[in-house]
Amino acid sequence: MTSVNPPPPGEGAAAALAVGGDSYLSHAKGLRSWIFTLDHKRIGVMYLVAVLTSFFLGGVFALLVRTELWTPGRTIVSADTYNKLFTLHGAVMIFLVLIPSIPATIGNFVLPLMLGAKDVALPRLNLASFHLYVVGAVFLLAAILTGGVDTGWTFYTPYSVTTGTSVILTTLGAFILGFSSIFTGLNFIVTLHKMRPKGMSWFRMPLLLWSLYATAIIQVLATPVLGITLLLLVAERTLGIGIFNPALGGDPLLFQHFFWFYSHPAVYIMILPAMGIESELISVFSRKHIFGYNFIAYSSIAIAVFGFLVWGHHMFVSGQSGLANMIFSLLTFSVAIPSAVKVFNWLATMYKGSIRFDTPMLYALAFIFLFAIGGLTGLFLGALATDVHLHDTYFVVAHFHYTMFGGTVIAFLGGLHYWWPKFFGRRYSERWGKIAALLVFVGFNLTFFTQFVMGSHGMPRRYYNYLPQFTPYHQASTIGSYILALGFFVMAGYLAHSLIKGERAPANPWGAATLEWRTSSPPPYYNFEHEMTAGDPYDLDTVRFVSRAEGWVPATEGAGS
Amino acid sequence: MTTLLHCALLALTAAPGKPSFLMPREASTVAGEVDHLFYLVLGISAFFFLLVVGIMLYFVIRYRYREGVAAEKTATHNTALEVTWTVIPLTLALVIFAYGFKGFIDIVTPPANAYEVLVTAQKWSWQFTYPNGYVDKDLHVPVNRPVRLVMQSQDVIHSLYVPAFRIKRDVVPGRYNKAWFQATTPGEYQLFCAEYCGTGHSTMLAKVIVHRPGGFDTWLADASNLLKTMSPVDAGRHLYTVRGCAQCHSIDGSGKTGPTFKGFFGHKVVLSTGQAITADEDYVRESILDPQAKVVAGFEPVMPTFQGRLTNEDITSIIQYLKSLSAGPKGGGGK
């Protein structure tokens, strides 16, 4: 399968992409030069191919789920198959797509470039991270091929220790993917501490780097807890040790505490890098200095810290004590504030700007719209009395898709379109880019807004069958998912076209002031010819527009130094 | 500001007993309070959503790129402004938290006089056990009376969810979770399992039937009278299973805490006093109501009394069932 052995973008493509002189794409040839490369850019590209392949797989599962829900009862598959489909959709999207999406692809590629550095601090660890990702993906794939798994991506006990499906392969896959994530996080922490260039104090880092730093802290501190929990689950299943299963003297709620101790911070692993991208895009495409840099930087750290203290809000109806519920609810509201602050800062950044609507900016604007809905609907779930009614209904499904898809995936797409010329040295079709963005936006809202209404009316989640009263909502949602899929189909088309025939991109096509735009597109193997000195990453007066072919260049020689 | 919004949105809240704009009909004492908060949060959310998206749209139109017009330099930060838009959302969030917590306390704190029903969840059905021992697959309750559910699971985690009552509580194996509600409107309501539990999760449904004043006691007496719907032998077999006889008395001759019922009725038994008697109708009846009066030799006097827990009809049915176990392979009884 392609997700196991992500192929390089092809020999022919690599050769075609070598614009003029040497680039990281043409620096060495052959499959081995990719699989065993220590170059952060190639690792980023391989991660990108792997993550997009996984996204395709998870998307196919999602479409099968939505198609099955066209009618109550059986539409295309049995109840058992349906249960496996939504489990695999969740597991693939969380562990193979959302967690590594921005840090491992865009982060790997861009972080050293933003530092003006040659590579990350620990290139071998970086490669090990990717290899572990592939091994973890193989485990998940093996689980799918040996009959699938039907526990939901949450693996709640005692169901997960009693079901006959491939729980062990899946959890071992997630365990290995956890180490892949830890390695990336560790690498970023060391790199940001040790390799910032002259002139880049902590508070002169691009905000994407602040958010990747906050993310890395969560990855390193929270992921081991997931690893231990999943190992205990495997031990319980294979050795019959009573940890979570009450039949053996264990406590099923203990599993939920352990699981959410990781998995709630994990949603910030997913959303924080998205917010980082958002800060870059809004500033560049508004031609404005970011507003409230310090507040945005501190809010990333605040989210990372508070994010560790709110896991109990997944357990408000589980039977945990009223006192615990009260504290977790209060802390949950506290974590909402830094997110709100960021949104206001982005809006203020646009004030009196000169706003362009290139494809990355369309995603940045869509992000504000969708993330606002995702964040505000969190208030209903953080409040105890309303959560009791809405818990485990489609309202929750809609809420987390608005944050995880409307937030993370939309920002990832914005970032992908923004750095695409840097990745491959090519532009893509702006017209088709806008069409795809519109299809994704419309399809997404149709798919998931209907689910808020269904959920508040009492439609429980993970239901194969449903009451006839919910049929119109389900059908609207399913139609929305097809429109969404069409958007991605269009996107795959023009991006593939760009790889082969796209117009050459200049070093700095958007007019950004961060360092990755000071080297050619695609960058040479060694990234920069000279040692770089950083200035204010949001002082956009340091660059001026020359022409479409030449892009933006430093306003004066040595500007920004 | 929130009060104004709230009033505006209150218009969306429909009269009790009918579904509102976004919520199912309200049929419990806490539903109104929950919906109140729901629409308050909806109002606050709608306000901020329109504010954010409104400003965003205004800016992208007003400040869109124009040939020859450069972006204007503005302040890159403004502490007073930023503190303001931190403190206002924080205050509103704390207000929502406080309402949510208060509502939650009401949802989870049952009054002292609540009527208790035992709930047993298993893949993929519900069992509701009433104080008189009657078991039903649907939940019948009186209107305007607090009902407390004491819930346990036989296998994995389930969750009892009644949207019309705005209550949900996980049913966790190895512990008792409790829930309570007071229904306000007679009628039939949907009960769901809300925690994923496998193949039949989406068909693990039941009805909540809220009886009119006085109707519940009549229903329970009626429903508990098994003889209306089954033969005495079948009724006896049912009671034997659900009322706990089976825990101590086998029907296949094997030894348990009490004597087996196979070939028991109509035969001679030796009591612990050495006396031998025939196990007839009166002996069985006496043993159910006063188990320690005549204990069969070789068994401990540990059986609890069923005085007040089984009706005369129940006892008669059990006797008929015991008779069927003593008859030949095809029960014809002594008649």
Query: What is the CA B57 to chain-centroid distance, rounded?
Result: 48
pLDDT in tens, A279-289: 999 999 999 99
In eight-state DSSP terms, residue A284 is: H
Predicted pLDDT at B12: 52
H/E run at residue A440: helix A430-456
Looking at the complex, does the CB of residue B199 fall below 8 Å from at least one CB of chain A? yes
Bridge pairing between strands A543-547 and A551-554: antiparallel
Signed CA dihedral, A192, A193, A196, A201: sign only: positive
Please check whether the domain covering B229-331 is classified as CATH 1.10.760.10. Answer: yes
Residue A16 has pLDDT above 60, yes or no: no
Residue A7 lies in a domain: no
Would you call A285 helix, strand, or coil by DSSP?
Answer: helix
Residue B262 has pLDDT above 80, yes or no: yes
Residue A5 lies in a domain: no
Residue A19 has pLDDT above 80, yes or no: no
Task: For chain B, give every domain's residue range.
Answer: 2-65+77-108, 115-224, 229-331
pLDDT band at residue B242 under the 50/70/90 scheme: confident
Predicted pLDDT at B17: 57
Contact A133, A127 (CB under 8 A): no
CA angle B214, B218, B220 (to 5 degrees): 115
Predicted pLDDT at A555: 87
> Which residues partner with B278 through β-bridges?
B268
pLDDT band at residue A536 under the 50/70/90 scheme: very high
Does the beta-carbon distance from B69 to A354 stay under 8 Å? yes
Does the beta-carbon distance from A460 to B194 stay under 8 Å? yes
- Phi (first) and psi of residue B129, to 5 degrees: -110, 125
Looking at the complex, does the CB of residue B174 fall below 8 Å from at least one CB of chain A? yes
Tokens (6 digits) for A361:
């900016």
Which CATH number describes the domain made up of B115-224? Answer: 2.60.40.420
Looking at the complex, does the CB of residue B51 fall below 8 Å from at least one CB of chain A? no
pLDDT in tens, B212-225: 999 999 999 888 88
Query: What is the CA A20 to chain-centroid distance, rounded?
Result: 33
Please check whether the domain covering B2-65+77-108 is classified as CATH 1.10.287.90. Answer: yes
Minimal CA separation from A342 to chain B, in Å: 10
Looking at the complex, does the CB of residue B87 fall below 8 Å from at least one CB of chain A? no
Predicted pLDDT at A1: 36
Residue A7 has pLDDT above 60, yes or no: no
Cβ burial B283-305 (10 Å sphere, 16+ → b, else e): bbbebbeebeebbbeebeeebee
Residue A457: its chain B contacts at CB < 8 A? 19, 22-24, 163
pLDDT band at residue A13 under the 50/70/90 scheme: very low
Looking at the complex, does the CB of residue A73 fall below 8 Å from at least one CB of chain B? no
- What string of DSSP letters covers B79-93? HHHHHHHHHHHHHHH
Task: Tell me what the pLDDT averaged over chain B comes to.
Answer: 88
What residue of A is the nearest CA neighbor of B189?
A: A458
Residue A29 lies in a domain: no
Predicted pLDDT at A162: 87
Residue A4 lies in a domain: no
Minimal CA separation from A296 to chain B, in Å: 10
Contact A34, A42 (CB under 8 A): yes
What residue of A is the nearest CA neighbor of B57?
A: A365
Q: Which domain holds residue A207?
A: 40-554
Query: How many whole angstroms separate alpha carbon A557 and alpha carbon B191?
Result: 72
Looking at the complex, does the CB of residue A204 fall below 8 Å from at least one CB of chain B? no
Domain count within chain A: 1
C-alpha distances (whole Å) from A293 to each of A210, B185, B287 are 10, 55, 83
Residue from the list B19, B99, B201 with its beta carbon closest to the beta carbon of A463? B201
Averaged pLDDT, A534-558: 88
Minimal CA separation from A233 to chain B, in Å: 15
Non-local CB neighbours of B145 within 8 Å, separated by 6+ positions: B114, B115, B182, B183, B216
pLDDT in tens, A315-329: 999 999 999 999 999
Residue from the list A352, A368, A383 with its beta carbon closest to the beta carbon of B63? A352
Residue A292 belongs to a domain with what CATH number?
1.20.210.10
Residue A28 lies in a domain: no
